[in-house]
A and B are shown apart, each in its own frame.
Chain A
């Protein structure tokens, strides 16, 4: 067998194992893994500020609780009247809405 013929057979053998020039399935799989990795990184980056916010809330919780209880006590009648007014207004608008044939 000539060297040229052997060379051609070697090239053909390599070419038979060549992946396609365009492979959308492979690209989609890679991009899916990239998106998953991006999400993981985003979540990891969000974790420290979230933990800091939780710590701040935890430290101020007793003060906030006292202030909220005082405010709610004074504002309860006003909230009840506002809610009732809103409910009646919405119900009235619904009742007076023109109906289609």
Chain B
């Protein structure tokens, strides 16, 4: 289990007692991690931020169920992951539209942003589980164990997802000038 800072545990206890202020501080402190994860899992940034808001709304409803000692970041990204999977199932039919949008985006970017566009496009092409593992372990420097806990996947699966995903991204960057 991941160590939880005392201040965070205190904020959680206050939020569980009904303090909106404490919950607001948790949102402020954890929004970056949740939004960064969702932006890498969902190709559309606005959609990712909307999912992040829904994640925090669900977290507010479920905060009473958060067990002591569980990392808020891991718990929130677990909720975000479930939201993203539901979203991805609904969007499977419009996957082609996403690819077209990413193509357009890639073409319109200046040379300095080519890497970012190429990585975003390569990320969108990865299977969802692999993309999530890469987003947490490569982009956000999470440990494999923490990612496994948040995504509800076995540790070995996370390791292989990260390895394969990394290889694909490196291949894309290697092809870039």
Indicate whether A14 reaches chain B with its CB closer than 8 angstroms.
yes
- B88 at the A interface (CB under 8 A): no
Q: A10-B173, A17-B120 are in contact. Are A34 and B40 (CB under 8 A)?
A: no
Question: Is there contact, CB below 8 Å, between A13 and B118?
Answer: yes
Which residues on the B side are within 8 Å of A1 (C-beta)? Answer: 173-174
What is the predominant secondary structure among interface residues of chain B facing chain A? Answer: helix
Q: Which of A1-35 contact B (CB under 8 A)?
A: 1, 3, 6, 9-10, 12-14, 16-24, 26-27, 29-31, 33-35
Contact status A13-B36, CB under 8 Å: no
The residue that B115 contacts in the complex, of A13, A18, A27, with Cβ under 8 A, is A13
| Contacts between the two chains (Cβ within 8 Å), count | 84
Q: How far, in angstroms, from A15 to B115 measured CA to CA in the complex? A: 11
How far does the Cβ of A77 sit from chain B's closest Cβ, in whole Å?
53
**Residue of A6, A19, A34, A37 touching B39 (CB-CB under 8 A):** A19
Interface size of B by CB at 8 A reads 31
Closest to A35 in B: B20
Q: Is the CB of B31 within 8 A of A23?
A: yes
One digit per residue, 1 when the CB lies within 8 angstroms of any chain A CB and 0 when it does not, for chain B 151-177 equals 000000000000000000110011010
Which of B53-61, B67-75, B93-101 faces chain A? B53-61
Interface pick from B2-10, B21-29, B79-87, B125-133: B21-29
Residue of B nearest to A29 (CB): B53
Contact of A37 with B32 in the complex, beta carbons under 8 Å: no
Taking chain A's interface residues, is the majority helix, strand, or loop, or is none over half, making it mixed? helix
> Chain B residues near A6 (CB, 8 Å)?
170, 173-174
Check B40 against A17 for contact (C-beta < 8 Å).
yes
Are B27 and A37 in contact, CB atoms less than 8 angstroms apart?
A: no
CB neighbours (8 Å) of A16 from chain B are 113, 116
Indicate whether B11 reaches chain A with its CB closer than 8 angstroms. no
Chain B residue nearest to A21 (CB atoms) is B32
Instruction: Decide if B173 touches A9 in the complex (CB within 8 Å).
Output: yes
In the assembled complex, the CB of A33 is this many whole angstroms from the nearest CB of chain B, namely: 5
Cβ contact within 8 Å between A27 and B60: no
Q: Which residues of chain A are near B40, meaning CB under 8 Å?
A: 14, 17
- In the complex the two chains form, what is the Cα distance from A19 to B40 in whole Å? 11
CB <8 Å contact, A26 and B35: yes
Instruction: Write the chain A residue with the least CB distance to B49.
Output: A26
Contact between chains at A12 and B49 (CB < 8 Å): no
Interchain CB contact under 8 A, B138 and A27: no
What 3 A-B pairs have minimum CB-CB distances, sorted nearest first? A13-B119, A14-B139, A19-B35
